[in-house]
Amino acid sequence: MAVSPATSEPLQAGIDAQLWDRFAHAGDAAERDRCWLDILAALVPGARLAALVRVEEDGRLEPVVLWPQGVSADALPAGLLERVADEGCGLVTRLPAQDGGSLYGVAHPVFEDERLDAIVAVVVEAGDEQALKTVMGQLHWGSAWQELFTRRRTRARDRALQTRLSAAMNLLAAVLSRPACEAAAMALVTELATLLDCTRVSLGFTDKGYARVYVISHSARFGKRMNLVRAIGAAMDEALDQRQDIMFPLPEGRELPLTRDHARLAELSGSTCIMTVPVHGGHGYYAAVTLERETRPFDEDELRLVQSVAGLAGPALEDKRRNDRWIGRKVFDAAARQWRRLVGPRHAGRKLAVATLASLVLFFSFAEGDYRVSGDVVLEGAMQRVVSAPFAGYVQTAPVRAGDRVEAGELLATLDDQELRLERLRWSSQRNQLQRQYQEALAQHDRSQVSIISAQIEQAEAQLALVESKLGRTRLTAPFDGLVVSGDLSQRLGSAVQQGETLFELAPLDAYRVILMVSEQRIADLAAGQRGVLVLTALPDETHPFRVTRITPVAEARDGENRFRVEAELEEISPRLRPGMEGVGKVFVDRRLLIGIWTRGLWDWLRLQWWVWRP
């Protein structure tokens, strides 16, 4: 969109042709902006002051070019510039004039896409509104040039970035295609030397705080103690110690770093131009790249290219280098790294975790506890008496049933005695009759008949005694003070019972037997005489001490595992206890380390698995 004096008569008026020629052939951006502002000032009638103000990333307004030369930036209408920056549109404001004329400030924004890039401002003397419109039009025309320059600058920057990224990706691909670190590093430095026309490119990694040259381009082997290699390593250390890129000789406008080792390398190698780029990673600076060539100095674009390559390929090379180490070195380095993190700064979480772990180890090394074996508990009476039917008969009364407490001699039930009374009457009458016959035979001196009748009398008396005994046992009474464990004849009144049939079971309330069911995994830890404590489900607020009396060597299958029956006796009898109560009992074995108690099951399982799988 360039407009020359030959193609635009309005622009050519009042403008020197040499100014257009200077503008068209400007050597750099500063000269181009100067010529552009001179042309704009010539096109604005009544212009007293003109300026191109750049808008920085932080919002500051920085004057780039002022017209006429020598004018101070303080003369700019600062308030007008700030309003244009805030509102993003062209504005006009009246300014105070010392000579009484009409002085105006006119400003127009310059955008890069949607971002405000710069502001073009002029101070003019104008007589009417039409003149101000003409000035605003000229500023709009001038801002179009600046937008064009910005787009060209952005396009050139993007093109350079794309070129660098493309070269960096190609070099990264060359690095990743090699499985070994040395081959990948050699490919990197050789490609860099070819790309940047270098006589030598070296790559080194840090080791114990110093850079060690790892590969040199176009050199498959090199002596570790050569003077040149030591000089290259010293140059790398110089850049790594200062943590910045070093270009030798130093370009204009850059900070002055220490370059003594680079100067020594240049003197030793004959390379007049040297550049060293340190490589930074998550754990600090770990590598450096040194480039050498004889004539042409390195520029900023080449520096950025090497930085991009190092940033992409450096981590890949570091990973390959670490993977290529032998296993002992990997273990040692990993342990050293963890130790540095532990004793060094930061990593508070790691330090807290290690301190906690150490405290736990120390605690479990000395902390002891009671090792106890637990199992389900059932209370049984120390003895259990069965009350059975003394003869076949019928139930007449049943005043008690299961769950009732009874005293010794208390009536439990009675059997119907009507038939027994009749049978007693029959045998009594028969005995009396036999006694009369005995007297008659005795009077007749019939000795044989006396003997027969005497035997019959004895038989009748025996039957009578049997009937009397049965009559005495029709009342079933409690043999001792206790609890009726089972038996309920209240629903069987009048029903028949057979001789020997169990009618009631009684257990005493002052003697109990504790039955503890212990898993077979823990039965070997128990022995007679050990003491423990039980808690019953019905009385969870009470504990009852007991002593193991017997271990039955017979296992029972319960809940999917084998359990052994262990018998014990209570040391104290509570009146609240009842036979049949259930709970949990724990037998004290000895005192052991807590960690041993908690991991006992795991170690037993591991030993068993080892026994199963070992040859």
Domains of the chain: 9-157 (3.30.450.40), 177-324 (3.30.450.40), 385-505 (2.40.50.100), 511-613 (2.40.30.170)
Q: In this structure, what token pair is assigned to residue 268?
A: 């030793």
* Distance in angstroms (rounded) separating the CA atoms of residues 107 and 306: 42
Instruction: Provide CB contacts within 8 A for 390, sequence distance 6+.
Output: 415, 470, 473, 499
> How many residues are given for the chain?
615
The predicted pLDDT at position 61 comes to: 84
pLDDT in tens, 267-285: 888 888 999 999 988 678 8
Average pLDDT, the chain: 82
pLDDT band at 308 (very low <50, low <70, confident <90, very high): confident
Q: Name the residue with tokens 């005043």.
A: 399
475: alpha, beta or left? (left if phi > 0; alpha if psi -120 to 50): beta
DSSP count for the chain of H helices, then E strands: 15, 24
What's at 418, amino acid-wise?
Answer: Q
pLDDT surpassing 60 at residue 398: yes
Name the residue among 280, 307, 282, 310 with its Cα closest to residue 206: 280
Three-state secondary structure call for residue 65 = strand
pLDDT band at 125 (very low <50, low <70, confident <90, very high): confident
pLDDT surpassing 70 at residue 33: yes
pLDDT band at 546 (very low <50, low <70, confident <90, very high): very high
HSE, side-chain direction, 13 A CA sphere, residue 305: 21
* Distance in angstroms (rounded) separating the CA atoms of residues 34 and 14: 17
Distance, first Cα to last Cα, the chain: 91
The predicted pLDDT at position 222 comes to: 63
Which helix (H) or strand (E) element contains residue 293?
strand 284-293
What's at 560, amino acid-wise?
Answer: G
* Distance in angstroms (rounded) separating the CA atoms of residues 120 and 548: 104
pLDDT surpassing 80 at residue 446: no
Strand order across the 210-216 sheet: 210-216, 200-207, 284-293, 273-281, 246-248
At residue 55, φ and ψ (nearest 5 deg) are: -95, 115
pLDDT surpassing 70 at residue 326: yes
DSSP assignments along 537-565, one per residue: SS-TT--EEEEEEEEEEEEEEETTEEEEE
Do strands 200-207 and 284-293 pair parallel, antiparallel, or not at all (unpaired)? antiparallel
Which helix (H) or strand (E) element contains residue 601?
helix 600-613
SS3 content of the chain, % helix, strand, coil (to 5): 45, 30, 30
The pLDDT of 159-182, averaged and rounded, is: 77
pLDDT surpassing 90 at residue 37: no
The pLDDT of 436-456, averaged and rounded, is: 82
Instruction: Provide CB contacts within 8 A for 253, sequence distance 6+.
Output: none
Which helix (H) or strand (E) element contains residue 352?
helix 348-366
Q: In this structure, what token pair is assigned to residue 309?
A: 């390559």
Instruction: Provide CB contacts within 8 A for 567, sequence distance 6+.
Output: 513, 514, 515, 516, 548, 549, 550, 551, 552
* Distance in angstroms (rounded) separating the CA atoms of residues 342 and 594: 29
At residue 497, φ and ψ (nearest 5 deg) are: -125, 150
pLDDT surpassing 60 at residue 106: yes
Q: What is the DSSP letter of 255?
A: -
Q: Name the residue with tokens 């020594």.
A: 264
Name the residue among 64, 124, 51 with its Cα closest to residue 92: 124
Three-state secondary structure call for residue 19 = helix
Whether residue 512 contacts residue 579, with contact meaning beta carbons closer than 8 Å, is answered with yes
Strand partners, 206: 211
Greater pLDDT, 261 or 380: 261
* Distance in angstroms (rounded) separating the CA atoms of residues 542 and 535: 6
Peptide bond into 68 cis (omega under 30): yes
Residue 153 Cα distances to 28, 33, 115, 225, 359, angstroms: 12, 13, 15, 48, 63
Q: Name the residue with tokens 């019972």.
A: 497
* Distance in angstroms (rounded) separating the CA atoms of residues 29 and 503: 121
pLDDT surpassing 50 at residue 4: no
* Distance in angstroms (rounded) separating the CA atoms of residues 380 and 485: 10
pLDDT surpassing 70 at residue 42: yes
* Distance in angstroms (rounded) separating the CA atoms of residues 425 and 302: 139
For 82-113, letters b (16+ CB in 10 Å) and e give eebbeeeebbbeebeeeeeeebbbbbbbbeee
What's at 189, amino acid-wise?
Answer: V
Which helix (H) or strand (E) element contains residue 145?
helix 129-176
Instruction: Provide CB contacts within 8 A for 204, sequence distance 6+.
Output: 211, 212, 213, 214, 232, 233, 236, 287, 288, 290
The pLDDT of 504-517, averaged and rounded, is: 83
The pLDDT of 212-239, averaged and rounded, is: 83
The predicted pLDDT at position 1 comes to: 27
pLDDT surpassing 50 at residue 8: no
pLDDT band at 99 (very low <50, low <70, confident <90, very high): low
Strand partners, 388: 502
Name the residue among 181, 433, 436, 482 with its Cα closest to residue 316: 181
pLDDT in tens, 595-604: 888 888 888 8
pLDDT band at 14 (very low <50, low <70, confident <90, very high): very low
Q: In this structure, what token pair is assigned to residue 192?
A: 């860099």
